A and B are shown apart, each in its own frame.
Chain A
């Protein structure tokens, strides 16, 4: 009879990156390259700056992709910067990203990995 239990992961950060639609692939590849283990992508609609740019607003896609990645504290900065560079967020209109510290994370962690870490 195995007792069900929960393993909390601490020192986790959530990186959220909002990009114009169809630009997410490069950013995801960069994040995974540097060590992020997985990502959740959802579709969204953005508003704000487009409406105030007049005709130039057409250059920014209203449809957005939102990437959410949970990373360890040690990787957080590296992944964040890699995503920033890959997404070319230093170009106007490309997107926005932010990172928050998570209180706790829980998911299925294989026993082998847990034991190896001890």
Chain B
């Protein structure tokens, strides 16, 4: 007996059935119709189980390690119990479930719109119409971005006396703020698309975008009242490039580039993210300067005083959780959906291939957004601000912590900075978008730039950035004295880098700041900021955007240098070994 026959005989239980018996009988006379399958309850459960499991696990992997790290740090190092742990747990569950549902809705509901419009629009409309639609889409996606809601949610924590313009922007000017950020993203989408089609280099675009940003930053910095807005403005750039904007704008842009016959360039997908994180900075600065010309700080202070003196309006049922979250969730997604439908049905006069699935996806994205919003309030935001406000107990006396100061001042500050570093590192590695970017880059550079190398350099960059940002709050140095030299260094490195690495590096910054990291870091920064009574807690995200750019550019230059030395030795290597 042969060994294989033996194995065949002893292995796993099986039976053989002829496919002739199972296959449906062909009746040539009857017209062919696809019959709906009859699915039993058990079968549908078996289908739904793995479907839900994989999608929820994706989010668990991103949220749980980060939350666990924060909680353990607070208990073990800061020796402060977790307040309202049950609510936090529920909030985190809501974040996980909400994100899982939202992402699935995004993939099945919103993305098909993007792809269909991207494929068909350039064929049926002129370039101007295409660009206008893309620009409007930029505004729509900004509203739908989960992280932008986080920005608005923290407005009330700003002190009106020390930072009047910042207070006014976040409390009474939120709609113009989001609109301006959206306009920035829209402009970025337009320029990015033109770049796809014309094949422009990204380098001059970065320089051109940075010059006005720098000039306005300088102007705002010189005005002591406007200075506090800078952190917010620079953070907006990082906030906008999230899980809705990037794929939707990219799928449109790539479709258009394909239609124009320029889609073959391996790097056509890059660049939009970079511009979408630079233009919103500009837009917010313009808005802030415009505001400073129309209202004076004293007027804002008076108005805020009046508002706080006035008898607190009894919140209607619509202003209470969870209804307020649901309202904001619907308000975030619906305009985008309506706009996409308008373009598809009215402008393009085309149909969706699978209406039922798309409808399901759209419903999911709205439901997911609402659940995520609830989770944002009770989970990520709450835990971030809680840890942030306890964090200074490591080095200074805090009324809420009975042990404080736990450590000598210098040690305490070091612990806080190391904490921020590790958190940034872990959170970035867990970001699924970074994994995808790493793979793309590895393929694009034919393995010269390894996926793990990119991931670690980006994560180190973000970690350094967040640590710097926390240090800014704790030590209290001016954000701009760090940010501007770093950006100048970035420009300097850009001049010497090749086009591929410039594209990858500048995009990596936007990719890393996802829907989990942004609210957490924002909340922590603001909590920490109010605990150490800093004027404002913004700026961490902007530092977390520039540092990975520097890290990847440096890495790219290193690889370039290594390749050059290697290629000079190439002739000595026998061809057979290559």
On A, residues with C-beta under 8 Å from B are: 22, 49, 51-60, 73-74, 76-78, 81, 85, 88, 91-94
Q: CB distance B50 to A91 under 8 Å?
A: yes
Which of B4, B35, B48, B356 sits near A77, CB closer than 8 Å?
A: B4
- CB neighbours (8 Å) of B12 from chain A are 81, 85
Q: CB distance A49 to B37 under 8 Å?
A: yes
Q: CB distance B7 to A56 under 8 Å?
A: no
- CB neighbours (8 Å) of A59 from chain B are 47-48, 50-51
- CB neighbours (8 Å) of B47 from chain A are 56, 59-60, 91-93
- CB neighbours (8 Å) of B4 from chain A are 73-74, 76-77
Known contacts A54-B356, A59-B48, A77-B11; is-contact A92 B43 (Cβ 8 Å):
yes
Query: 20 additional contacts, CB 8 Å, given A78-B11, A88-B50?
Result: A49-B37, A52-B37, A53-B37, A56-B39, A56-B44, A56-B47, A57-B357, A58-B357, A59-B47, A60-B47, A73-B4, A74-B7, A77-B4, A77-B7, A77-B11, A81-B12, A91-B46, A91-B50, A92-B47, A93-B46
Q: CB distance A58 to B360 under 8 Å?
A: yes
Known contacts A22-B54, A74-B4, A77-B4; is-contact A55 B37 (Cβ 8 Å):
no
Tell which of B4, B356, B360 has the most Cβ of chain A within 10 Å.
Answer: B4
C-alpha gap A74/B46 in the complex (Å)? 33
Q: CB distance A51 to B34 under 8 Å?
A: yes
Type the 1/0 row for B1-44, where 1 means its CB is closer than 8 Å to any CB of A. Answer: 00110011001100000000000000000000011110100011
Q: CB distance A81 to B11 under 8 Å?
A: yes
C-alpha gap A59/B54 in the complex (Å)? 11
* Shortest CB distance B562–A (Å): 29
Known contacts A53-B39, A74-B3; is-contact A58 B108 (Cβ 8 Å):
yes
- CB neighbours (8 Å) of A55 from chain B are 356-357, 360
- CB neighbours (8 Å) of B356 from chain A are 54-55
On B, residues with C-beta under 8 Å from A are: 3-4, 7-8, 11-12, 34-37, 39, 43-44, 46-48, 50-51, 54, 108, 356-357, 360-361
* Shortest CB distance A81–B (Å): 5
- CB neighbours (8 Å) of A88 from chain B are 50
C-alpha gap A52/B50 in the complex (Å)? 20
28 sampled A-B residue pairs with Cβ under 8 A:
A51-B34, A52-B37, A53-B39, A54-B36, A54-B356, A55-B356, A55-B357, A55-B360, A56-B44, A56-B48, A58-B51, A58-B108, A58-B360, A58-B361, A59-B50, A59-B51, A74-B3, A74-B4, A76-B4, A77-B7, A78-B11, A81-B11, A81-B12, A91-B47, A92-B46, A93-B46, A93-B47, A94-B50
- CB neighbours (8 Å) of A51 from chain B are 34
- CB neighbours (8 Å) of B43 from chain A are 92
C-alpha gap A59/B104 in the complex (Å)? 10
Top 4 A-B pairs ranked by shortest CB distance?
A59-B51, A59-B47, A74-B4, A81-B12
- CB neighbours (8 Å) of B108 from chain A are 58
C-alpha gap A94/B47 in the complex (Å)? 8
* Shortest CB distance B60–A (Å): 16
Tell which of B11, B37, B43, B360 has the most Cβ of chain A within 10 Å.
Answer: B37
* Shortest CB distance A74–B (Å): 5
C-alpha gap A57/B43 in the complex (Å)? 12
C-alpha gap A93/B37 in the complex (Å)? 13
- CB neighbours (8 Å) of B50 from chain A are 59, 88, 91, 94
- CB neighbours (8 Å) of A77 from chain B are 4, 7-8, 11
- CB neighbours (8 Å) of A76 from chain B are 4
- CB neighbours (8 Å) of A56 from chain B are 39, 44, 47-48
Q: CB distance B54 to A78 under 8 Å?
A: no
C-alpha gap A49/B34 in the complex (Å)? 10
C-alpha gap A75/B39 in the complex (Å)? 36
- CB neighbours (8 Å) of A53 from chain B are 36-37, 39
Which of B3, B8, B36, B360 sits near A52, CB closer than 8 Å?
A: B36
* Shortest CB distance A88–B (Å): 7
A11, closest chain B residue (CB):
B4
C-alpha gap A55/B44 in the complex (Å)? 11
B12, closest chain A residue (CB):
A81
- CB neighbours (8 Å) of B34 from chain A are 51-52
* Shortest CB distance A73–B (Å): 5
* Shortest CB distance A65–B (Å): 14
A52, closest chain B residue (CB):
B37
* Shortest CB distance A1–B (Å): 15
C-alpha gap A85/B13 in the complex (Å)? 12
B356, closest chain A residue (CB):
A55
C-alpha gap A93/B48 in the complex (Å)? 10
C-alpha gap A25/B50 in the complex (Å)? 15
C-alpha gap A74/B44 in the complex (Å)? 37
C-alpha gap A58/B107 in the complex (Å)? 11
Tell which of B12, B47, B51, B108 has the most Cβ of chain A within 10 Å.
Answer: B47
* Shortest CB distance B90–A (Å): 27
B35, closest chain A residue (CB):
A52
C-alpha gap A60/B43 in the complex (Å)? 13
* Shortest CB distance A95–B (Å): 11
- CB neighbours (8 Å) of A92 from chain B are 43, 46-47
Q: CB distance A78 to B7 under 8 Å?
A: yes
